[in-house]
Structure 1
Amino acid sequence: MRAAHRLLAGLLAAGALVTAGCAHSVDPIERLGRRAARQVTPGADTPAAAARKRWGLTGPLARAPEPPAHRFSAAYVVDHVPTHDKVVFLAVDEGAARDPRFVRITGELKLPVSLFPAEGRPDLPTLSYEGQRAEICGQRRSRLFHPPHGAYNADTLRAAADCGVRALVLGREFREYAQGERLRPGDIVRADASATAPLLRRIQEQGYAVARLEDYI
C-alpha cells in the first residue's frame, strides 16, 4: 500500500511540473509576433502624415464644418461668402490645375478646389452680348462662373444668367495674404500651383478649414 502511495505521489508531482512548464511556454508564432511588434518604430509616418510633412504642414488641416442646409443668397457677383464659419475656399484656373505640383498637393491632401477656365480666354467686355454668351455657355462647368481676368460688364451679367450661371465668382489673389492680409471667414482665394503650399500653411496658422465653394453658394 505504501508503495502504491509513493507511486501516486510521484505521478502527481510529475504532472504538476509538466503543467507548470506548459503555463509558461510561448507559442512560436506568438513569439514571432511579439518580436515584430518590438521592431515597429513608434509614431511611424502614415501616408497622410508624410504628405502633410512634405508640404510643410504641422498636422491635419482643420476639418470643415457641415455645409449649410441652404446655400446663401449671395449677391450675383461674389468675392466673399457671407458665413461665420471659419472656412475659406480655394479657386484656381484650369491652367494652374494642370501643373503636376498642384495635382499632387490637392490629391495627397484631398483638398476641395473650384476650377475655372480662364487660360487663353478673351476679356468678356471686349465682346458683344452674343459673343459673351457663346463664351460663357461654352466655358461653364458648374453654376458658378469666374470671368477671365475678373473683367465683366452688364452684358456679362445678362449672358451669364442666360447660360444658367448662379453667381460670378471673383475672389482674391493669394499675394494679398502674402503681404500680411489676414484671412476672413468666407474668403475665396485664388491661388496658383506655386502658391498653394504657402497658402495652406497660412490657412493652418490662422486656424481655418478649406471648404467646398459649391456647398455654400
Structure 2
Amino acid sequence: MPAAAWAKWKVPPLAPAPPAPADKPVKLTKSGTVPVISSIPTQQKVVFVTIDDGEEKDPKFIEMMSDLKIPITMFLMDDAIKNNYDYFKPLQAAGNSIQNHTLHHPAMSTKSAAVQKTEVCGDQQVLTQKYGTAPFLFRPPYGDGANTPTLNSAVQQCGPRAVVLWHESMQIHDMQYQNADKKLRPGDIILAHFRGPKDLKGETMTEMFGELLSRIQEQGFSVARLDDYIQPPS
C-alpha cells in the first residue's frame, strides 16, 4: 500500500495480512446446530474487522476503503439500509461480504420463536435479493440470545451456518476488550458499526475507523478477511 494512501487518512501503515490459509481453520456444515464463533483458531498475528447495522452511509468511507483496501465483513440490518441499498455495493464489489443481522435489530431473547425466525429469514431474503449472494453468517443484535436453542433453530431454518460474535468492540477512540489484559489475540473478531457524527460525538465514520486501525497497528496486528478463514458448506 503506498505510503501516501495511509498519510491521506492519517493512519499509520498496517503490515499486509499473510497469505490466506489453504486449509480454512473453520469449516461449516450443511445441517445441524450452527456454531457460535467469536475468534478464529490461528497462530497468525491477524484480526478480523466486522461492521454492523448500516445506519451511516458516508461516501468518504467508500473512498477510504478503496484507498486502504482493508478487508471487512458487513452484518447489515434491513431497517438501517433500506433507504440506500446501493451504498454497500461498492464495498461488496471490493470483496467484502454481506452477512445477516436481522430485519429490525431486536433483542432476540425477548422475542418468540416465530418472531426470531421472521427476523432472520426476512433479512436473509432481502440481502440475498439485493446483493445476489445468500449470507452464510449471522450476528444477533447486541449478541443477545446467541447461545439459545431458539435462536440457533431460527438460524438453521433461515440459511446461515454460523453465529458470529466478537472479542473487542470499537467505540470512538478505543476498543472495549473482553480480555482483562486489554490486548488483541491472534484470530480475534472485532465489532464496529456504521456510525457518524450523531452517534460518535461529532467524529466521522472515517475518523473512527482510522482510530480502530491505529489501535490494531499499535499491537502489531494485520487485518485479514474473515471469509478466507471460514469454509461455507460446499
**2:176 alignment partner, SS class:** helix
* Structure 2 residues without counterparts, runs of 5 or longer: 29-33, 81-103, 128-134, 194-204
- 1:117 alignment counterpart: 76
Does 2:154 match 1:170?
no
* Structure 1 residues without counterparts, runs of 5 or longer: 1-46
**1:92 alignment partner, SS class:** strand
CA drift of 1:59 comes to 3.2
The structure with more strand, counted as a fraction of residues: 2
**In 2, distance between residues paired with 1:55 and 1:180?**
29
Does 2:141 match 1:148?
yes
Which residue of 43, 48, 51 maps to 1:84?
Answer: 43
**In 1, distance between residues paired with 2:17 and 2:139?**
26
CA drift of 1:180 comes to 7.3
Q: Is the 8 A contact 1:81 1:188 kept in 2?
A: yes
Moved more, 132-141 or 79-88: 132-141
Does 2:190 match 1:197?
no
**In 2, distance between residues paired with 1:77 and 1:146?**
9
Structure with the larger RCO, 1 or 2 (CA within 8 Å, 6+ apart): 2
**In 1, distance between residues paired with 2:19 and 2:53?**
27
The percent of aligned pairs where both chains have the same amino acid is 38
Q: Once superposed, which parts of structure 1, at least 4 consecutive aligned residues long, lie more than 4 Å away?
A: none
Which residue of 74, 86, 105 maps to 2:64?
Answer: 105
Q: Is the 8 A contact 2:36 2:165 kept in 1?
A: yes
TM-score, structure 1 as length reference: 0.68
Q: Flag the 1:207–1:110 CA change in 2: closer, same or farther, 3 A.
A: same
Higher alpha-carbon Rg:
1
CA drift of 1:97 comes to 5.9
Please provide the CA RMSD for this pair: 2.5
Q: Flag the 1:104–1:158 CA change in 2: closer, same or farther, 3 A.
A: same
Which residue of 106, 110, 114 maps to 1:126?
Answer: 110
Q: How many residue pairs align between the two structures?
A: 170
